[in-house]
Structure 1
Amino acid sequence: MLVYSINNISFSNNSASQQTLIIQISLEEKNFANVISNTVSQVYAQGPGSKATAYIKLTYLRDSRMLEKAFGLNNPYIFVTYDRGVNITVINSTTPTLTFEGPDKNVFWSASLYPAVLYNNSNIWDATFRNSITINGTTVYGLMIPPSDFNSTIRVVVEWNPSLNEIWSFNSSSGYFYININPGG
């Protein structure tokens, strides 16, 4: 019983505790993607001039030690991009490994009503956290955010201001995602 208990809290490779931690992080990633995507959908459905705010509480995605223990990564980042919905993954900044399905899935997608494909446009991503990764020879742009830059509660503000360009930004000091959608703009 003692050996079982130690394995459940040690986060050693392929232990029950590591698998539980991976599941908890994955659920938080999916929830984060859902919150952003649903807020974008709400604004898109309401039309030009609309604005919506949502909040999400983060526990695991803001703790680099937990991400390192779960995935065996050094220097983990959270990568956020958009392709007809929000994609979120935890990656190593130097050699990202992306798995879209199966038991080792680490990319979580949440569909949105807003049908835009934005991952291929470097101009819309705020320069502070803008980065790119390569997937099968395709350059994918998005926001690459260190876990330590997340506050415990993130505010997601989405608006459709036709006089502004499409923008995705993150302010680490206030824990604030700002998104302006501009369909056709």
Structure 2
Amino acid sequence: MSFFSNWFGPKKKKDQPDFAFYENVIHTIAVSETLKDKLLRKVRQAFDRPESFFDEKGEYLLAARGLSLKAHKALLPKIAFVDILLNHNEMAEVDWKETEQGVRYWIIALLVAKNYPGSLSNEEKYGRNVHTGEVLDLINQNELKPLGYALEILDIDSDSYVFTIVPLHRQEEVQEMFRVLK
């Protein structure tokens, strides 16, 4: 313990959401019943047997994320949740310097995968010098919301944007859930 920890006590670790919290998130944002079942099983597995997500060399099995069991055990339910949604096209991940066309590609893919009616143009509207975060916001405000959907970004502490699309009436609920998962 450091000198100040003796006075103020050890730093409290941020409370991690439990399985029941993830269960609610899964039922709120996933549209496929089959995927919901798989997510529930895998997130439960991440809580109960986190080592099962790593190979004999200690490498994370679901994606190339550079995770280790020892350092990332508490984050594993969140990362497994994200990676499974990514693998089933119900969530997307783009680099912080992605082009507008790349962003559009993934948003359109989400609309299709979630079987949401409506469509977006795949043509660039906002110019090449617009930052990826701004493109996401512009598409959300100007194109998705008029269709009745909202783009919600989940912070996974990386240099990429991980997002999904939800019906507009669920936006605030999902925003709050994603704040807790941060």
- Which has the bigger relative contact order, CA under 8 A and spacing at least 6? 1
Q: Which has the larger radius of gyration?
A: 2
TM-score by length of 2: 0.26
More helix per residue: 2
Report the TM-score, using the length of structure 1 for normalisation.
0.26
Greater per-residue strand proportion: 1
